[in-house]
Amino acid sequence: MSVHVRGLHGQAVDVIGERIVRGDNAPGDLLYPDRIEAELGVSKTVVREALRVLASKGLIDSRQKRGTFVRPRADWNLLDADVLRWRGQGVPDEGFLDDLAEVRAIVEPAGARLAARRRTEEDLAALVEAIEQMEAADGDVPATVEADLAFHRALLAAAHNELLTGMEVVIEAGLRVRDSFVHGADHGAEHGADDAVPAHRAVVDAIAARDPEAAARAVEELLAKAVADLRQLIGSPDREETA
Amino acid sequence: MSVHVRGLHGQAVDVIGERIVRGDNAPGDLLYPDRIEAELGVSKTVVREALRVLASKGLIDSRQKRGTFVRPRADWNLLDADVLRWRGQGVPDEGFLDDLAEVRAIVEPAGARLAARRRTEEDLAALVEAIEQMEAADGDVPATVEADLAFHRALLAAAHNELLTGMEVVIEAGLRVRDSFVHGADHGAEHGADDAVPAHRAVVDAIAARDPEAAARAVEELLAKAVADLRQLIGSPDREETA
DNA sequence: GCGTCAAGATTATTGCATTATTAATTCTCT
DNA sequence: AGAGAATTAATAATGCAATAATCTTGACGC
């Protein structure tokens, strides 16, 4: 179900949104409300409300006499939580993983730098709590993902910049995609995720010590390791030229 | 009108959304659909669709028997284009300007670094075009803002990372806020914005030369100058401890 | 205490009226 | 006759109203 919307209507948002993001309906294609209505077995009100929500995410536009059509991809709200989720499920398009990792590599070290300077005791407590949660998860993949997510959320929160905190949607998308891969793959033994705790602890230590550069470095290492793990898991080469 | 939604319903989204963001309705407060209906002179349908869109932005939630209420601020989609715009108009809350500048300082130099490595000839052409547009504007504030916006959009586009490109909403919000201040203030003579062209050109040169670090530095200087200009314009002190 | 029931709000359905925009048609002028 | 402008008709979204269904919550009674 759509992140913030409940009810039948929220399901419709999900179904239609996912289709568009997946490419079932290419930009410019028309959507036929009455067809959708019949297909999903809902009333036109539900469909209309769903289309309104999708329009607010930039996915579609509807003009009188012209009909309702998919907007060019450049107009999509790619940072919207729902859109990110829709892109993440199913087979993620090629660049998506790289884009996610890249943005994280930009945002999180910078967030750590700020966090090292602004963190309160509560921020620190939240970070420590997340690590404990991570240890307690002990291999259980969903629990680990939740703990990991809690950690990175706490990290951004400690930077005390609301807009930066808003970037957590990107991080969440990244972690969930990773999660889905871990589930899909038949990894022998451990998948090298249980030794992530020390790396996380290094981040907390640097932030506790109010050392911005150390914190940024620690996060960079953390992310580099995560990327390496993922790459090994799915066997994809580096995007970047080997400069 | 709401960015992507047209019609009466889009106006309702704007009115209600702005109120919530401005704080007229505090988190936890109830919204009364029929009251809004009467107030705006629209039907239940319009109000409901507006509330649905606002729910999808995380601003409100509505549960049966409890009513429709404003969600805690932490749940808001702060990176949503509409939310950013609503925050920007009126008197922007204290931290907002700082948050905007900070995020730009994180994202744009990183974007410039990537752009220096990945830019195509088309990307370069778009950047040059934006600068020409900036020169042609010659003092006219709205035209300058548009050109500035085009420049920074082109910069992010040149990084060839869709998610990063999505951050343009933040940059747009920053520029528009600045615009509103420039309009409001009675600046004597020029407001020091016309000499922004050389700084922008330095960015393009570095990207043309495929020099990532120079590009990042040039953008940092550009942003520092913009912040200084704005600060002088409104006379606000630095947020940061003077470390 | 625990289950039942009723109230109260959102949620969903339906049918109809309105509006806006495109596309075809007609009309006019050259 | 042909090109272009003005009118008209079709069509799809938009907006409205009335009604039914569903789900919580709180109270009542056992």
The spacing between the Cα labelled CA in B73 and the C1' in D12, in angstroms, equals 38
User: What pLDDT does residue B90 have?
Assistant: 81
Give, in degrees to the nearest 5, the angle at Cα B197 between B96 and B184: 40
Among A167-171, B91-95, B130-134, where is mean pLDDT lowest?
B91-95
Q: In chain B, which residues from 63 to 82 place their CB closer than 7 Å to nucleic acid strand D?
A: 63-66
Name residues 33-52 of chain A with a Cβ under 7 Å from nucleic strand C.
41-46, 49
Strand C proximal residues, A:167-186, Cβ < 7 Å: none
Closest listed residue to residue A11, CA positions, set A24, A2, A21, A19: A2
Can you give the distance from the CA of residue B238 to the C1' of nucleotide D8 in angstroms? Answer: 64
Segment B179-221, tens digit of pLDDT: 887 776 655 445 555 578 999 999 999 999 999 999 999 999 9
Write down the pLDDT at residue B138: 84
CA distance A112 to A218: 9
Residue A190: pLDDT over 70: no
Question: How far is A36 from chain B, CA to nearest CA, in Å?
Answer: 18
Q: Name residues 34-93 of chain B with a Cβ under 7 Å from nucleic strand C.
A: 48, 51, 62-65, 67-68
Bases of chain C below 7 A from a protein C-beta are 7-14, 19-22
Please answer whether residues A103 and B163 qualify as being in contact, where contact means their C-beta atoms are separated by less than 8 angstroms: yes
Q: Is the pLDDT of residue A189 over 60?
A: no
Query: What's the mean pLDDT in A12-17?
Result: 94
Does B49 sit within 8 Å of A52, measured CB to CB? yes
Beta strands in A64-163 (DSSP E): 67-70
Pairwise CB contact (< 8 Å): B77 & A81: yes
Average pLDDT over residues B61-86: 93
- pLDDT in the model for residue A2: 64
Average pLDDT over residues B99-107: 97
Which residues of B are less than 8 Å from A2 in CB distance?
56
Q: How far apart are CA B204 and CA B158, in angstroms?
A: 11
Instruction: Please indicate whether, in this complex, the C-beta atoms of A4 and B57 are within 8 angstroms of each other.
Output: yes
B242 pLDDT exceeds 50? no
Residue A242: pLDDT band with limits 50, 70, 90: very low
Q: What is the pLDDT of residue A7?
A: 77
Torsion of CA A49, A54, A60, A62, to 10 degrees: 20
CA of B38 to C1' of D16 (A): 14
Nearest to B49 by CA among A49, A42, A47: A49
Q: Token digits for B162? A: 């869709």
pLDDT in tens, B128-184: 999 999 999 888 888 999 999 999 999 999 999 999 999 999 999 999 988 887 776
| pLDDT at site B231 | 83
The number of helices, as runs of H, and strands, as runs of E, in chain B is 11, 3
Instruction: In whole angstroms, give the CA distance from residue B224 to residue B242.
Output: 16
Distance to chain B for A83, nearest Cα, Å = 11
CB contact under 8 A, B57 and A106: no
Predicted structure pTM score: 0.91
What pLDDT digit, counting tens, does each position of A41-91 carry? 999 999 999 999 999 999 999 998 889 999 999 999 999 999 999 999 888
Burial of B91 (0-12, 13-18, 19+ CB in 10 A): exposed
- Classified as helix, coil or strand, A61 is strand
Question: What was the pLDDT predicted at A186?
Answer: 56
Q: CA A111 to CA A240: how far, in whole Å?
A: 24
Q: Of A38, A45, A36, A43, which Cα lies nearest the Cα of A15?
A: A36
Amino acid at residue number B179: D
pLDDT at res. A76: 96
Pick from B103, B114, B243: CB nearest A164 = B103
Query: Rounded to a whole number, what is the distance in Å from the CA of B232 to chain A's nearest CA?
Result: 22
Whether any strand D atom is under 7 angstroms from the Cβ of A67: the reply reads yes
The residue that minimises its CA distance to C1' of C13 is A43
Say if residues A163 and A200 touch (Cβ distance below 8 Å): no
Round to a whole number and report the distance in Å from the CA of B64 to the C1' of C3: 22
Which of A52, A120, A165 is the best residue to mutate to test the B interface, defined by the most B CB atoms within 10 Å of its own CB?
Answer: A52
